[in-house]
Amino acid sequence: MQAYPALEQRFARLSAISDAIGILAWDKETTMPLGAADGRAEQLATLEVMAHDVLTAPEVGDLLGEAEQGRDNLSIWQRANLREMRRTHTHQSAVPGDLVEARSRATSRCEVAWRKARAESDFASLRPLLEEVLIRTREVAQAKGEVLGLAPYDALLDGYDPGTRKAAIDPLFAELRRDLPALLDAALARQARLPAPPAMTGPFPVDVQRGFGEGLMVALGFDLRRGRLDASTHPFCGGATNDVRITSRYKESDFTGSMMGILHETGHAIYEQGRPRAWMAQPVGQARGMSLHESQSLLVEMQVCRTRAFASYLAPLAHRAFPALGAEWDAEALYRLSTRVERGFIRVDADEVTYPAHIIVRYELEKAMIAGDLAIADLPSAFNAAVHEPLGLTVPEDRLGCLQDIHWPGGGFGYFPTYTLGAMIAAQLFDAACRADGAVLPGIARGDFSPLLAWLRPNVHEVGSCVSTDEILTRVTGRPLDASVFKRHLRARYVDDA
């Protein structure tokens, strides 16, 4: 067989293994009994090693070299696929197999322990496991950095978000750190002049919330034949190719929390379901990176669903589904609730004005941890000190502080900045979509999201990894990422709105 087709076959196998890992990881969060944790860690570690072996077998380098020699005979998509194959191969072959396995085992165990540690606000019990995760992650960062010619933290970043460097993030985050405190003060002052949203008590039965959420997913374009909605401690979008599984968490007293979680994950999911069909199992058919991924969830959650237009579509639907929802919950009350700004401890509960502060804190801390400048033992106090400055909060216990997120226990150092980069991209993309098609905004008020989806499919989802995030942005917005549209959006919604 020729080199390029042989590579496609090999990467399809890799995709099948990675899909299997996706389902096993989903099961771990939603379904698995606790006593199966060690066994599951073994299964995941074994499959990860096998994926690693498929990708780093000695013949792969030769096949890549040979295919690159013959690239003039390849189509544009094949050429981009080959480039992404090389990228993936470089990332993976930089890390020795036993380190991949050791890190996978460490993160699986640490994630399980995190669940208990968070519930009991017991950082001490997590500490040795998290230390092991950090040691392994630093080894991975070091190994990748050497091969990629990058600083260790940039090497981790590049694994989540190809091409993104801390040198590009630092000025963007500095701009937000400079401008957001005043914006937050102004937003809170404006909010104080408005009536507070009424109290929401319910009860809103969990199965009704689930069905309601599923209805919204379908309206937004989620294909239930190729995905599911379930419950887990921490909402996520996972699963496999053509089997996209999102989760939310429910409380009976308030349906909007689970709903917003579902809307957010739906944004991720429609990206996954909309990847280029012909390239689903190939590297070029993957999502472009985690910043662009997050932009799709935030475009749905923040740009689309926290608008007056969406609230006016939502209000009658919600009253039909939930008889316990009082008449005081008209569209304007739902809108005020969905745009409420508050200094709070929990990142995933944060509004879009305070969210960047949570991210910038974590970004600075994880850069220090990877650089070896911050030990796990000192993380709780460092975290609490860092949060105090931008948000003015004193963390009373670690479950409201550094224990709140699964990312570090799961080894996800380098992931946090993609949330705020995603928020900025979302603003820039949605602004472009509304300019490109005047039907997008009016559609939202009727629950017709098809004009938006029709714009996102060719301009974002179906591009896959054919070009870079900056090129996707430049094609449709005329320039690469900056903070201006995001800041304008925040000011318009939270400060200047009448």
Q: Give min distance, CB of 224 to its own copies, in A.
A: 7
In order, the DSSP letters of 303-355 are: IITTSHHHHHHHHHHHHHH-TTS-TT--HHHHHHHHT-----S-GGG--TTTH
CB closer to its own copies, 23 vs 436:
23
Q: Give min distance, CB of 218 to its own copies, in A.
A: 13
CA dist list (Å): 49 to 57, 143, 334, 412, 449: 12, 17, 48, 18, 42
Q: Give min distance, CB of 24 to its own copies, in A.
A: 6
Residue 175 is among the residues annotated as catalytic for this protein: no
Alpha-carbon distance of 109 to 26, in angstroms, equals 15
Alpha-carbon distance of 64 to 231, in angstroms, equals 42
Q: Give min distance, CB of 236 to its own copies, in A.
A: 16
Q: Give min distance, CB of 240 to its own copies, in A.
A: 6
Task: Record the tokens describing residue 26, joined without a space.
Answer: 């989903």
Q: Give min distance, CB of 12 to its own copies, in A.
A: 8
Q: Closest Cα partner for 346 from 297, 404, 415, 414? A: 404
Q: Give min distance, CB of 33 to its own copies, in A.
A: 6
Alpha helices per DSSP H over 439-478 = 440-445, 450-459, 469-477
Under the phi-then-psi rule, with left for phi > 0, alpha for psi from -120 to 50, and beta for the rest, what region is 481?
beta
CB closer to its own copies, 17 vs 74:
17
Task: Record the tokens describing residue 158, joined without a space.
Answer: 């590049």
248: helix, coil or strand?
A: strand
Task: Record the tokens describing residue 346, joined without a space.
Answer: 């929990």
57: helix, coil or strand?
A: coil
Single-letter amino acid, residue 104 = S
CB closer to its own copies, 38 vs 496:
38
End-to-end distance of the chain based on CA atoms, in angstroms?
Answer: 66
CB closer to its own copies, 39 vs 458:
39
CA dist list (Å): 328 to 43, 212, 256, 331: 51, 20, 15, 9
Q: Give min distance, CB of 89 to its own copies, in A.
A: 19
Single-letter amino acid, residue 247 = T
Beta strands 243-248 and 237-240 are antiparallel
CB closer to its own copies, 240 vs 466:
240
Running DSSP on this structure, what letter comes out for residue 395?
-
Task: Record the tokens describing residue 384, joined without a space.
Answer: 């609490």
Q: Give min distance, CB of 116 to its own copies, in A.
A: 14
Q: Closest Cα partner for 486 from 173, 157, 163, 160? A: 173
CB closer to its own copies, 80 vs 240:
240
Strand partners, 238: 245
CB closer to its own copies, 148 vs 453:
453
The catalytically annotated residue of 8, 29, 265, 366 is 265
Contact call for residues 28 and 92 (beta carbons, < 8 A): no
CB closer to its own copies, 20 vs 150:
20
Token look-up 């002052």 returns 189
Interface residues toward its own copies, by CB under 8 A: 12-13, 16-17, 19-20, 23-24, 27, 31-36, 38-40, 42-43, 45-47, 50, 223-228, 240-243
CB closer to its own copies, 239 vs 390:
239
Alpha-carbon distance of 333 to 232, in angstroms, equals 28
Alpha-carbon distance of 220 to 97, in angstroms, equals 41
Active site residues: 265
